[in-house]
Amino acid sequence: MAGNSFGQLFRITTFGESHGEAIGVIIDGCPAGLDIDINYIQAELDKRKPGQSKITTQRKESDTVKILSGTFEGKTTGTPIAMMIPNEDQRSKDYSHNVDVFRPSHADYTYQTKYGIRDYRGGGRSSARETAARVAAGGLAKLLLKTAGIEILAHVSSVGKINAPNVIIDDANDFLTAREKNIVRCADPATAEEMINFIDDIRKQGDTVGGKVSCYIKNCPVGLGEPVFDKLHAELGKAMLSINAVHGFEFGSGFTGSEMRGSEHNDIFIKDSDGNIQTRTNFSGGIQGGISNGMPIEFRVAFKPVATIMHNQATIDSQGNSAEISGKGRHDPCVVPRAVPIVEAMAALVIADHWLRNRNAKLA
Amino acid sequence: MAGNSFGQLFRITTFGESHGEAIGVIIDGCPAGLDIDINYIQAELDKRKPGQSKITTQRKESDTVKILSGTFEGKTTGTPIAMMIPNEDQRSKDYSHNVDVFRPSHADYTYQTKYGIRDYRGGGRSSARETAARVAAGGLAKLLLKTAGIEILAHVSSVGKINAPNVIIDDANDFLTAREKNIVRCADPATAEEMINFIDDIRKQGDTVGGKVSCYIKNCPVGLGEPVFDKLHAELGKAMLSINAVHGFEFGSGFTGSEMRGSEHNDIFIKDSDGNIQTRTNFSGGIQGGISNGMPIEFRVAFKPVATIMHNQATIDSQGNSAEISGKGRHDPCVVPRAVPIVEAMAALVIADHWLRNRNAKLA
Amino acid sequence: MAGNSFGQLFRITTFGESHGEAIGVIIDGCPAGLDIDINYIQAELDKRKPGQSKITTQRKESDTVKILSGTFEGKTTGTPIAMMIPNEDQRSKDYSHNVDVFRPSHADYTYQTKYGIRDYRGGGRSSARETAARVAAGGLAKLLLKTAGIEILAHVSSVGKINAPNVIIDDANDFLTAREKNIVRCADPATAEEMINFIDDIRKQGDTVGGKVSCYIKNCPVGLGEPVFDKLHAELGKAMLSINAVHGFEFGSGFTGSEMRGSEHNDIFIKDSDGNIQTRTNFSGGIQGGISNGMPIEFRVAFKPVATIMHNQATIDSQGNSAEISGKGRHDPCVVPRAVPIVEAMAALVIADHWLRNRNAKLA
Amino acid sequence: MAGNSFGQLFRITTFGESHGEAIGVIIDGCPAGLDIDINYIQAELDKRKPGQSKITTQRKESDTVKILSGTFEGKTTGTPIAMMIPNEDQRSKDYSHNVDVFRPSHADYTYQTKYGIRDYRGGGRSSARETAARVAAGGLAKLLLKTAGIEILAHVSSVGKINAPNVIIDDANDFLTAREKNIVRCADPATAEEMINFIDDIRKQGDTVGGKVSCYIKNCPVGLGEPVFDKLHAELGKAMLSINAVHGFEFGSGFTGSEMRGSEHNDIFIKDSDGNIQTRTNFSGGIQGGISNGMPIEFRVAFKPVATIMHNQATIDSQGNSAEISGKGRHDPCVVPRAVPIVEAMAALVIADHWLRNRNAKLA
């Protein structure tokens, strides 16, 4: 129960540290017969990898994924699928200054106290590098969901106090095209430009800034999610909160919903022109009673600013003495552009898991 | 994997519907030798029970809990502890109008579609009545945590747009006394009065309103929480999001943190006068890298307005025909006063679970 | 992880001690829409209850089961099904002699050492009374399996050194009728009589004796069981070994198979007259590579003699001093007649669980 | 829930097929601070590897293990430990004759039917090659248990009808030395010679033979094992039955116990000269009520003969037509010599898991 697995039926277990041999993941429970498109999975990883643009860290790692097991002649076989990403650019010397000093708002102090030992190089296991393994597994989950027409679509909806307007997604490909046209991964071009300039400015100041990622799940069938503890939004919430730097999660009306009245918040059921049941509004965010209701699932994820800044900061060392830490290494001024594929990956893992779980809801 | 269990080592499984024989819970994994104070557990339930005040539902149920197993001569024995709460006030006829009509923003439609059958009386399993079983189990978890000096303290921090000022908790008992002095369970007396008047007004309009509960965990030792998926705040988030009507969760700086810069957000380590390591600020909300850092844990939970209102609403029936639903039954105008003990219970369950899990972090 | 749950998708959690308020079980994961026949479940319990005949314990308990949740209008709803069996005949005074003395080959010493406390009345949680909850849950599992035509059939195949001839089951009902015609539950009438006389003789001597139960599963579809750790026979083995007094498990050729050569042990595939794939022999016991192959599943379970005998025995007390214990209470001279429904129940739980798990083996 | 994980707190997940890139394992839950002796782990693997002697398969694989994560400066860090063993000697062409034919008493037919696809090369995932990953993980578990003085000791106790006399283990090293002095891994030299000659004879006939492995666990503390489903012997039984070719498990008196009377079977408690509580006999096999009682744990595991023989055998192909299969490839005439380290590894994994689980049995 050491917390490195996620999901019940579509279940992943990740391993690896920032500066070890490799990171990777085992996926257990993927049904047999799924066509594996390794290029698709690699493309997902490429959206997360460092060194993509001027507003991401300048570290360089190709993050090339290799499948070690579980497939045969291009298809899954029902056996565990292991994927490995070797670590390449391990400038461990960059971290020698961290050996005995606790970086503010990092996991150094808590890991050291919990375990009595820590791999201080690049944050070790607490590094967001671990999320590459999630993105690889999430790529597989997306391939599974595509067989059912389910699309997971996220973009950067805010950086600092710059907020994008609400997005209405008519076509998944159009949305992705718009998003990938800019390096901040915001589907609204005008806002994207503003965000990029702001992050670049922050970067030049040696500072960092937070932001939000909004995610939409289209064509999710009715019925996914398990009462009472494994409500679909509770599982999505845990998935998102498990991503490094996340400090908040809301779905549908979210925090704003807490200010509303029932008479304005209730989503009235209607029948659309094709005879399908829908709701007029979607304050429920596509989930009612913890179960998907067929409307688009909508949620937002808040990321705090990256803790590593290029300023000198006061701190303490492992003996509790005062110390100073100066910013070194290569880090992101804002994490959200690279967080978009991670949010999508975790969402895909939750939906894939519940898609399988829901197969046993009814007798026939 | 049907979702009715929560926790790994301190693990609960709940059962029961709003209008069945009984609801209840099995707690598996409570260590042997804990003194059981049944009056304390009952007092927790009394804070959740219906009919407490003019601003809660007027249903009357004593919610008397009975322990069926797992204790001997007043102590836990290490075997599963079953607790049962019989259902008393089951006016099932109140719900005959729900047989064939899907109430807006309730779980009727999703349950019916997922399972092909539903117990429509009072929402069946989707009713918040199920949370009484959680409060009973959470009471036991609190007793366990008290042996380690850990206190879980929540109160109503907003109703609609009425927000309480930030609370600084010096003494747990003072906080609880202040909170229990008013029927809305807000520790700030002036705000409480404003909230109560507002809810009463909403109630007279046959409407409902949302709100927020803030929770503080004091004296939590360093080291609780498991990387990478079972981060302490991810587990708290899932726990809170699994409570009926919750639409958002944030900890520490939360959503506001996404607007901040790293240079203002970083929590600088200091040594207090007793030589203990603390942080000057607490934007981390007591959790760093998913692991408690010894500072107070702070989080906020957003509740949407109750869906059952005393207005006529358009909807559809199970054949997809247009229908109208008129508000009936006895319901809460605002759920947060009764949600306070539920938030505390779920927090206690998470902390108890991780307190046990952390015992195995180190070899010695 | 305290060990009171069994199964993954069809999952049970039991509670209760021999002399507490009640024993019971929560079943989580039973698909919605199953017709519940409470009389069938009660009839299963009646085969396990004490006081059935002269060769079982003379304790009297009606073992009446009550369903508390999870059903509506006679069908399962997909929500957890709680079943409770109140304890009736609790002559706790019979056990006052056990307070401070460790009974040989019982769980007194290990429970006391592990937990530092124990409910000494009738063995508390270690009593085989707990298996009544399993039989109730197993009854539900059997009802589920009957919808797929799967039959679980066990009988007593040995008592002491008296062995029944191998049984060929053409018709499940004929087998059950033959078995229930005698109080020892052996399907071979001549052997049954011999067994009954032997047990009665043992009983008069104040002694006890072991025996074996053989179990057959008919019409199990191909494909149940999950490589590599959750092989179908490994799960059946764990299930059987978790029953009180069981000391051994074997399937197919079993221990005898370890003496055989490959050339005689291999089961040659053939096609029967209906074109179905079968094997000429069944040394595999219906399971190959951990997965059912469509042949009858066959296994055998060895029970040690009941530890409570009506003789004086030397032992030690909780201070480690020499003591003597004299046989008291009402106990079974041989456990196997009442173990037959328990073996069937545990087998049904394993098969039901894997029947659900197998639904996700393939994509389509 | 696809069955590739084992254990709860000391939890392993394995991956890999016989002829894929690599096999491996992730161990999650090993406490931080354990010294890693990679040479010890490799030595365990060397006992399992093919090509050791004339009575094992002549395939050659070095089975060199590499640690990918979870350790730092020679110690475990509390993060997941991934170990990988590349596949080397993959003569896939040896298996081309298996593409469309189901080998008798192998998993070909069941895998093909369950998954609709199978990696036919060397049995794919159903190959005993997977157990190398278990041996690597078990080596780590043994290192953990050594810190508590617990020793896991197995040897070959029978081959066909040749049975070794009972072994009394005074000194673990003496036992291991005696066992490793011969290629069949039987601690009794005279029997070992007889076994070796017999297996060599069987091999020359192109046939195979079964056998038994006996295992002893010394210095296991009192209290390991969780009632009611996770009894220590039930977990050991599942672990053993999950090993390829195992058809039976018994502990303590085992199947023979089913023939005994209570008056002869009961283990009388005594105090030894050091004041420790022991039992005069050990028919309980070191486990009472599912919990270790401090006596040596003793169990036996029955292996069927290897299914691959060098004879021509009738079978059917995937269209159900009659076919003939001729023995090819390089296989073991008797699996038990190489099974000894696997039995020990699985036992170590069970004991390590319950050693951690037992830390939470009591409050203090």
| Residue the block writes with tokens 């050091």 | D274
B contact chains, 3+ CB pairs < 8 A = A, C, D
End-to-end CA distance of chain B: 34
> If pLDDT is split at 50, 70 and 90, which confidence band does D89 have?
low
Of B3, B20, B26, the CB nearest to C13: B26
Query: Which amino acid, one-letter code, is at B79?
Result: T
Q: Is A155 helix (H, G, I), strand (E, B) or coil?
A: strand
CA distance, residue A175 to nearest chain B CA (Å) = 24
Domain presence at residue A174:
yes
Instruction: Please count the residue pairs, one from chain A and one from chain B, whose beta carbons lie less than 8 angstroms apart.
Output: 361
CA distance, residue A141 to nearest chain B CA (Å) = 17
Instruction: Please state, in angstroms and rounded to a whole number, the distance separating the CA atoms of residues A195 and A334.
Output: 10
> If pLDDT is split at 50, 70 and 90, which confidence band does A340 have?
very high
CA distance, residue C73 to nearest chain D CA (Å) = 32
CB contact under 8 A, D250 and C249: yes
- What are the helix (H) ranges across chain D? 38-48, 108-115, 131-146, 172-180, 189-204, 232-241, 254-257, 262-265, 336-357
The pLDDT of residue B59: 81
Domain presence at residue A364:
no
pLDDT digits (tens, 9 = 90+) for A19-48: 999 999 999 999 999 999 999 999 999 999
Find the closest chain D residue to C285 by CA distance. Answer: D247
The pLDDT of residue C57: 86
Q: Please count the other Cβ atoms lying within 10 Å of the Cβ belonging to residue B291.
A: 27
CB contact under 8 A, D364 and B33: yes
CB contact under 8 A, A33 and C227: no
Angle value at C-alpha D236, between D233 and D239, nearest 5 degrees: 150
CB contact under 8 A, D363 and B147: yes
Find the closest chain D residue to C2 by CA distance. Answer: D226
A92 pLDDT higher than 60 = no
D91 pLDDT higher than 70 = no
pLDDT digits (tens, 9 = 90+) for A270-286: 998 888 999 999 999 99
| Residue the block writes with tokens 């429509």 | B120
Over residues D113-136, the mean pLDDT reads: 94
> Is A239 known as a binding-site position?
no
- Please answer whether residues D125 and D119 qualify as being in contact, where contact means their C-beta atoms are separated by less than 8 angstroms: yes
Tokens linked to D357: 């689980």
- Please answer whether residues D241 and C237 qualify as being in contact, where contact means their C-beta atoms are separated by less than 8 angstroms: yes
Tokens linked to A16: 């690896």
Domain presence at residue A189:
yes
**Which chain D residues are closer than 8 Å to C104 by Cβ?**
266-269, 279
Instruction: Please count the residue pairs, one from chain B and one from chain C, whose beta carbons lie less than 8 angstroms apart.
Output: 156
> Is D125 known as a binding-site position?
yes
DSSP letter string, B247-289:
EEEEETTHHHHTTSBHHHH---EEE-TTS-EEESS-TTTTEET
CA dihedral C6, C11, C16, C21 (to 10 degrees): -170
Instruction: Please state, in angstroms and rounded to a whole number, the distance separating the CA atoms of residues D152 and D128.
Output: 21
The pLDDT of residue C272: 86
Secondary-structure breakdown of chain D: helix, strand, coil percentages, each rounded to the nearest 5: 35, 25, 45
CA distance, residue D157 to nearest chain B CA (Å) = 35
Domain presence at residue A34:
yes
**Which chain B residues are closer than 8 Å to C8 by Cβ?**
1
CA distance, residue A50 to nearest chain D CA (Å) = 21
C contact chains, 3+ CB pairs < 8 A = A, B, D
CA distance, residue C296 to nearest chain D CA (Å) = 14
Of C14, C16, C28, the CB nearest to B4: C28
CB contact under 8 A, B82 and C24: yes
Domain presence at residue C25:
yes
pLDDT digits (tens, 9 = 90+) for A200-221: 999 999 999 999 999 999 999 9
The pLDDT of residue C60: 82
Instruction: Please state, in angstroms and rounded to a whole number, the distance separating the CA atoms of residues A233 and A155.
Output: 19
CB contact under 8 A, A69 and D5: no
What share of chain D in percent tops pLDDT 90? 86
Find the closest chain C residue to B69 by CA distance. Answer: C16
* Low-confidence winner among A304-313, B216-225, D232-241 (lowest mean pLDDT): A304-313
CB contact under 8 A, A125 and D9: no
What share of chain C in percent tops pLDDT 70? 97
The pLDDT of residue C160: 98
Ranges in chain B, pLDDT < 70? 89-97, 329
Of A125, A260, A311, the CB nearest to B305: A260
Instruction: Please state, in angstroms and rounded to a whole number, the distance separating the CA atoms of residues B360 and A114.
Output: 10
**Which chain A residues are closer than 8 Å to B299 by Cβ?**
none
The pLDDT of residue D319: 86
Q: Specify the CATH number for the domain of residue D310.
A: 3.60.150.10
C319 pLDDT higher than 90 = no
pLDDT digits (tens, 9 = 90+) for C322-341: 999 987 767 899 999 999 99
Domain presence at residue A311:
yes
DSSP state of A217: E
Domain presence at residue C107:
yes
* Ramachandran bin of A254, using left for φ above 0, alpha for ψ from -120 to 50, beta for the remaining angles: left
Instruction: Please count the residue pairs, one from chain A and one from chain D, whose beta carbons lie less than 8 angstroms apart.
Output: 157
Find the closest chain B residue to C30 by CA distance. Answer: B2
CB contact under 8 A, B252 and A249: no
Query: Which amino acid, one-letter code, is at A360?
Result: N
**Which chain D residues are closer than 8 Å to C254 by Cβ?**
247-248, 302
What is the rounded average pLDDT for all residues in chain A?
94
A98 pLDDT higher than 90 = no
The pLDDT of residue C168: 87
Of A251, A258, A314, the CB nearest to B268: A314
CB contact under 8 A, A125 and D77: yes
CB contact under 8 A, A32 and C362: yes
Q: Is C261 helix (H, G, I), strand (E, B) or coil?
A: strand
CB contact under 8 A, B362 and D9: no
Find the closest chain B residue to D145 by CA distance. Answer: B363
Instruction: Please state, in angstroms and rounded to a whole number, the distance separating the CA atoms of residues D350 and A221.
Output: 41
pLDDT digits (tens, 9 = 90+) for A142-196: 999 999 999 999 999 999 999 999 988 999 999 999 999 999 999 999 999 999 9
Over residues D133-158, the mean pLDDT reads: 98
A307 pLDDT higher than 80 = yes
The pLDDT of residue D157: 98
CA distance, residue B39 to nearest chain A CA (Å) = 27
CB contact under 8 A, B228 and A105: no
CB contact under 8 A, C21 and B117: no
> If pLDDT is split at 50, 70 and 90, which confidence band does A235 have?
very high
C205 pLDDT higher than 60 = yes
Distances (CA, A) of D88 to A86, A317, D51, D59, D61: 20, 47, 13, 10, 6
Domain count of the fold of chain C: 1
Instruction: Please state, in angstroms and rounded to a whole number, the distance separating the CA atoms of residues C237 and B314.
Output: 56
Instruction: Please state, in angstroms and rounded to a whole number, the distance separating the CA atoms of residues D334 and D316.
Output: 26
Instruction: Please state, in angstroms and rounded to a whole number, the distance separating the CA atoms of residues A287 and A267.
Output: 11
Secondary-structure breakdown of chain A: helix, strand, coil percentages, each rounded to the nearest 5: 35, 25, 45
CA distance, residue D274 to nearest chain C CA (Å) = 12
Name the binding residues of C: 48, 54, 125-127, 244-245, 289, 304-308, 330
Name the binding residues of C for FMN: 125-127, 244-245, 289, 304-308, 330
> If pLDDT is split at 50, 70 and 90, which confidence band does A93 have?
low
Of B17, B73, B82, the CB nearest to C16: B82
**Is the pLDDT higher at A54 or at C293?**
C293
**Residue C284 burial by Cβ neighbours in a 10 Å radius (0-12, 13-18, 19+):** buried
**Which chain C residues are closer than 8 Å to B23 by Cβ?**
69
* Low-confidence winner among A236-245, C59-68, D171-180, D206-215 (lowest mean pLDDT): C59-68
CB contact under 8 A, B252 and A247: yes
CA distance, residue A35 to nearest chain B CA (Å) = 27
Tokens linked to D258: 């089913």
- Please answer whether residues C306 and C245 qualify as being in contact, where contact means their C-beta atoms are separated by less than 8 angstroms: yes
Of C207, C231, C309, the CB nearest to D241: C231
The pLDDT of residue A91: 58
Find the closest chain A residue to B232 by CA distance. Answer: A242
The pLDDT of residue D109: 96
The pLDDT of residue A349: 98
> Is A348 known as a binding-site position?
no
Of C34, C144, C361, the CB nearest to A32: C361
The pLDDT of residue D331: 84
Over residues C280-297, the mean pLDDT reads: 98
The pLDDT of residue C179: 97
Torsion angles phi and psi, residue A164, rounded to 5: -80, 150
Find the closest chain D residue to B228 by CA distance. Answer: D79
A55 pLDDT higher than 80 = yes
The pLDDT of residue D148: 97
D96 pLDDT higher than 70 = no
The pLDDT of residue B318: 85
Of C9, C76, C361, the CB nearest to A360: C9
The pLDDT of residue C88: 84
CB contact under 8 A, D117 and A5: no
Tokens linked to A44: 């997902």
The whole domain housing A35 covers: 5-359
